Structure 1
Amino acid sequence: MKITVIGTGYVGLVTGACFSKMGNKVYCVDIDEEKINGLNNNILPIFEPNLDTIVKTSHDRGDLIFTTSIREALDDTDIVFIAVGTPLGEDGSANLDYIYAAADDIADNITHDSLIVIKSTVPVGTCFDVRDRIESALNKRGCDVEIDIASNPEFLKEGNAVNDCMHPDRVVIGAEKAEVFERLKDLYSSFVQNHDRFVLMDVKSSEMTKYVANAMLATKISFMNEMSHICEATGANIQKVRLGIGSDKRIGYDFIYAGCGYGGSCFPKDVQSLINTAKQHGYEPRILADVEEVNREQKMVLVNKVIDRFGEDLSGLSFAIWGLSFKPYTDDVREATSLVVVRQLIEKGASIKAYDSHAIDEFRRAVDNEYLDSIEFVDSRYGALDGCDALILITEWKEFRNPDFSILSERLNQKVIFDGRNIYDKKIIDLGFELYQIGC
């Protein structure tokens, strides 16, 4: 098939690359000229495992085309995917400016009947708004073009996005016509050998499914983080509790790890957007509001543990930070706990030495300039330890799981570790370390 993907962020680039890997001809369109020039030279704007190989191979083969010209892309396409960002607006709602801009560009340039598929995460009803917007513009142009609309939300985990796209556990499609379902099933047939993985529904339910999925996962995380506080208060161990409840098939082990809060481009934004949608329809959501509040407070847990150990005034103290991205295998620092921890410690007088294998540049761009003078970015995990009074682990990259504790002992001024992801065994206490974890 011939496909156009509007937007080259995480969703658009991964989706377009994976479609092209299966032999489809894919145009990836973006208004950012610098980004498109980089992609045409195999320079990716994001880090995602294995994505660079697919992009280079498909691009060199001619199946993946990067362009700023939507006219060029639309003239040679069967299906148009909208995969632009929907950032959180000031009022807590999803900002749909990029969605509507893409719709306007489609309406101004489309020349033949097409299927428009929204893959971006959008509030319920957005697909129909986009359809009406395009049809209204086409009527004003006097253009005799018919369009169909569909919702096909993404379920990609950053750090595992390529695998999720190539081997989806489900493909959700929301549409109004049987022929639209069939066209999209044909497109995804090379990814889905088991047709039971197609979940077909109406458009509005499809749009809602993405929000509910992320809200449920965020709820599991915040629930376990709240339980971790109860465990600390009572002397129980959240790690052992996790093993006890995760063995129940109705609960499972996924997303029940206590830690220092979730971040990223999806969970914080989507929970807030769903809260906003509920309020717009006259319902005050209670659980979702608490999920968000628990997570906001959880990002302060490490800071509070540092204060409990060293006091409110951290002047003259230096802290090593291991991990800046909101999760491993990505360079994404949006809503990352590291931003909260670093800012808070610096405001209390501390200096920071930070290391992350992929996220330093993104972190540097995300943190306010006023903090940068107090942060030294280093290029190795052990290099971050020199002259520091404690190690704070925020992101559980694999290289942090089994460090040489004799090196930590030699390089740290004080043998103190704040483990924000509970990855270290308490037996290191026998080596003379003070270990502060969450819920245990």
Structure 2
Amino acid sequence: MKLAVIGTGYVGLVSGVCFSELGNEVICVDNAKSKIELLNNGEVPIHEPDLKELIASNTAAGRLSFTTDLAAAVSASEIIIIAVGTPSLPDGKANLAYIEQAAEEIGRAINDYKVVVVKSTVPVGTNEKVADIIRNFAEASFDFASVPEFLREGTAVRDTMNPDRIIIGTASDRAAEMLTELHRPLTDQITITDVRSSEMIKYASNAFLATKISFINEIANICEKVGADVEEVAKGMGMDRRIGSSFLKAGIGYGGSCFPKDTQALIQIAGQMDYDFKLLKSVVEVNRDQRFNVIRKLDELLGDVAGRTIGIWGLAFKPETDDVRDAPAFEIIETLLERGAQVKAYDPIASNNFERTFNRSEVEYCSSAQEAAESADALCILTEWKEFINIPLSDIQKWLKTPNLIDGRNIYREEELEATPFAYYSIGRPKMNNGVKETNPILSF
């Protein structure tokens, strides 16, 4: 099939490349000329495993191309996929300016029957609004559909090629048939539903996963007070098929481009319908507070961070990505600087993105994990990169001025820490927290 994908961010670029890998002819469109030039030169603007290799092979095979000419791409394609950004506005609502602009340009370019697909995450009712905009300009017929994405950064290619399910929201049998044909090579778990339900499925899915993360973090905080191990608790919970083991890893909370934005947007959607989504508001509140556990434990270890040097390992919100959007590192480092600490930070690939976004010149960005740890009064692990996991604790001990270690991602095991001098803190594993005061009361009933 012939596809045009509008937008070359995570969703658009990965989707377009993967559809070309399936044998379709794909034109990826972006109005950022520098990004298109980069892609046409074989470079990739985002870090995503396997993506660069797939771009190279499918470009060479003539199935994949990149352009700023939206009109030409639309005219040459059967299916138009809108995958532009819908970032949060200050009030938490989704910013639909980019999707509305894309809809107008698509409408002006439609020359015969097309299926227009919204893959961007959008509030319920947006697809109908997009269709109305296109109708104002289109001289040919078209159908529209909502096909939300469920990929994860760092595993986006694998998730796209091996989806749990495909949701197609449309009132058109013709569009449903074409989109089913397009996705059938990926899975037979294809559900056809109405457009508004499809839009809601995306928000509901992300909100539920965010809820699982905040829930297990709250359980971790209780575990620290009662002497239980959150990893054992999560393992026991996950064995229940009704619960499942995914997204039950305690840490310093979620970040990235989806969960923070989508939870806030769903709260706003509910509010516009005069519904107070109390549960999801609590999920957001818990997540924001969870990252400050790092600060609280530093206070317990050091008494005062003023004048102390704090090493930071990890700036991306998760490993295998250079995305720093809403990463816990922002608020943690900001708080440390405000309280007079000196911060040395390192991330294998996200340092440049973080530095561009974080407008504080006081941070010392380091070129290696060793440099960030050397002579520091404490080391905080904020992203569970394999590079960090593979560094021997004996090396970290040599580098640090004082062996204080705050493990915000629970990357170390108890046997690794035995016979080491570390004052160690992890999340929800109080028996391992050597050097940090934890309550372990005798419970009375």
Under TM normalisation by the shorter chain, which class is it? Answer: over 0.9
Q: Which residue of 2 aligns with 1:233?
A: 225
Q: Which residue of 2 aligns with 1:39?
A: 39
Q: Check the 8 A contact 1:24/1:63 in 2, yes or no.
A: yes
Letter of the structure 1 residue corresponding to residue 168 of structure 2: I
Q: Which residue of 2 aligns with 1:413?
A: 401
- Residue 60 of structure 2 aligns to a residue in which SS? helix
1:269 equivalent among 261, 264, 267: 261
Letter of the structure 2 residue corresponding to residue 242 of structure 1: A
For the pair 1:156 / 2:130, whether they are aligned, the reply is no
Q: CA deviation at 1:315?
A: 2.8
Q: Check the 8 A contact 1:429/1:435 in 2, yes or no.
A: no
Alpha-carbon distance between aligned partners in 1 of 2:231 and 2:179, rounded to the nearest angstrom: 43
Alpha-carbon distance between aligned partners in 2 of 1:70 and 1:248, rounded to the nearest angstrom: 49
Identical positions, percent: 46
Alpha-carbon distance between aligned partners in 2 of 1:409 and 1:99, rounded to the nearest angstrom: 51
- Residue 136 of structure 2 aligns to a residue in which SS? helix
Letter of the structure 2 residue corresponding to residue 155 of structure 1: F
Q: Check the 8 A contact 1:391/1:417 in 2, yes or no.
A: yes
Q: CA deviation at 1:365?
A: 1.1
Letter of the structure 2 residue corresponding to residue 168 of structure 1: P
- Residue 324 of structure 1 aligns to a residue in which SS? coil
Q: Which residue of 2 aligns with 1:319?
A: 310
Alpha-carbon distance between aligned partners in 2 of 1:409 and 1:279, rounded to the nearest angstrom: 51
1:379 equivalent among 367, 372, 378: 367
2:178 equivalent among 173, 176, 183: 183
Q: Which residue of 2 aligns with 1:335?
A: 326
Q: Which residue of 2 aligns with 1:215?
A: 207
Alpha-carbon distance between aligned partners in 1 of 2:128 and 2:30, rounded to the nearest angstrom: 23
For the pair 1:433 / 2:422, whether they are aligned, the reply is yes
Question: RMSD of aligned C-alpha atoms?
Answer: 1.1
Q: Check the 8 A contact 1:426/1:435 in 2, yes or no.
A: no
Alpha-carbon distance between aligned partners in 2 of 1:310 and 1:162, rounded to the nearest angstrom: 43
Q: Check the 8 A contact 2:72/2:109 in 1, yes or no.
A: no
Alpha-carbon distance between aligned partners in 2 of 1:309 and 1:417, rounded to the nearest angstrom: 9
Q: Which runs of 4+ in 1 moved over 3 A?
A: none
Alpha-carbon distance between aligned partners in 2 of 1:272 and 1:228, rounded to the nearest angstrom: 24
2:288 equivalent among 271, 289, 296: 296
Identify the range of structure 1 (116-125 vs 51-60) with the bigger mean alpha-carbon deviation: 51-60
Alpha-carbon distance between aligned partners in 2 of 1:86 and 1:430, rounded to the nearest angstrom: 50
Q: CA deviation at 1:429?
A: 4.8
Alpha-carbon distance between aligned partners in 2 of 1:93 and 1:429, rounded to the nearest angstrom: 49
Name stretches of at least 5 consecutive residues in structure 1 with no aligned partner: none
Q: Which residue of 1 aligns with 2:97?
A: 97
Q: Which residue of 1 aligns with 2:338?
A: 347
Matches within 5 A, 1:105-120: 105-120=105-120
- Residue 27 of structure 1 aligns to a residue in which SS? strand
- Residue 439 of structure 1 aligns to a residue in which SS? coil
Alpha-carbon distance between aligned partners in 1 of 2:306 and 2:150, rounded to the nearest angstrom: 44
Q: CA deviation at 1:387?
A: 1.2
- Residue 419 of structure 2 aligns to a residue in which SS? helix
Q: Which residue of 1 aligns with 2:439?
A: none
- Residue 337 of structure 2 aligns to a residue in which SS? helix
1:283 equivalent among 258, 264, 275: 275
Alpha-carbon distance between aligned partners in 1 of 2:424 and 2:206, rounded to the nearest angstrom: 32
Q: Check the 8 A contact 2:83/2:119 in 1, yes or no.
A: yes
2:238 equivalent among 246, 250, 254: 246
Alpha-carbon distance between aligned partners in 2 of 1:178 and 1:334, rounded to the nearest angstrom: 38
Alpha-carbon distance between aligned partners in 2 of 1:316 and 1:302, rounded to the nearest angstrom: 17
Q: CA deviation at 1:58?
A: 1.1
Alpha-carbon distance between aligned partners in 2 of 1:169 and 1:236, rounded to the nearest angstrom: 33
Alpha-carbon distance between aligned partners in 2 of 1:233 and 1:300, rounded to the nearest angstrom: 17
- Residue 11 of structure 2 aligns to a residue in which SS? helix
Alpha-carbon distance between aligned partners in 1 of 2:193 and 2:347, rounded to the nearest angstrom: 42
Alpha-carbon distance between aligned partners in 2 of 1:128 and 1:264, rounded to the nearest angstrom: 28
Q: CA deviation at 1:426?
A: 3.1
Q: Check the 8 A contact 2:6/2:12 in 1, yes or no.
A: yes
Q: CA deviation at 1:327?
A: 0.5
- Residue 4 of structure 1 aligns to a residue in which SS? strand
Q: Check the 8 A contact 2:384/2:409 in 1, yes or no.
A: yes
Report how many aligned residue pairs link the two structures: 428
Q: CA deviation at 1:350?
A: 1.1
Letter of the structure 2 residue corresponding to residue 120 of structure 1: S
Q: After superposition, give the CA deviation of every residue in 1:47-74 in whole Å (9 maximum; x if it has no partner).
A: 0000000111111222111100012101
Letter of the structure 2 residue corresponding to residue 296 of structure 1: R
Name stretches of at least 5 consecutive residues in structure 2 with no aligned partner: 430-445
Alpha-carbon distance between aligned partners in 1 of 2:158 and 2:225, rounded to the nearest angstrom: 40
For the pair 1:399 / 2:387, whether they are aligned, the reply is yes
Taking structure 2 as the reference length, what is the TM-score of the superposition? 0.94
Q: After superposition, give the CA deviation of every residue in 1:222-241 in whole Å (9 maximum; x if it has no partner).
A: 00111111111222221221
Taking structure 1 as the reference length, what is the TM-score of the superposition? 0.95
Alpha-carbon distance between aligned partners in 1 of 2:147 and 2:69, rounded to the nearest angstrom: 24
Alpha-carbon distance between aligned partners in 1 of 2:412 and 2:214, rounded to the nearest angstrom: 21
Alpha-carbon distance between aligned partners in 1 of 2:233 and 2:186, rounded to the nearest angstrom: 37
Alpha-carbon distance between aligned partners in 1 of 2:119 and 2:370, rounded to the nearest angstrom: 42
Letter of the structure 1 residue corresponding to residue 273 of structure 2: H
Alpha-carbon distance between aligned partners in 2 of 1:48 and 1:13, rounded to the nearest angstrom: 10
Alpha-carbon distance between aligned partners in 2 of 1:300 and 1:42, rounded to the nearest angstrom: 41
Letter of the structure 2 residue corresponding to residue 133 of structure 1: I
Q: CA deviation at 1:105?
A: 0.6
Q: After superposition, give the CA deviation of every residue in 1:9-68 in whole Å (9 maximum; x if it has no partner).
A: 000000000111112111111110010111100111100000000111111222111100
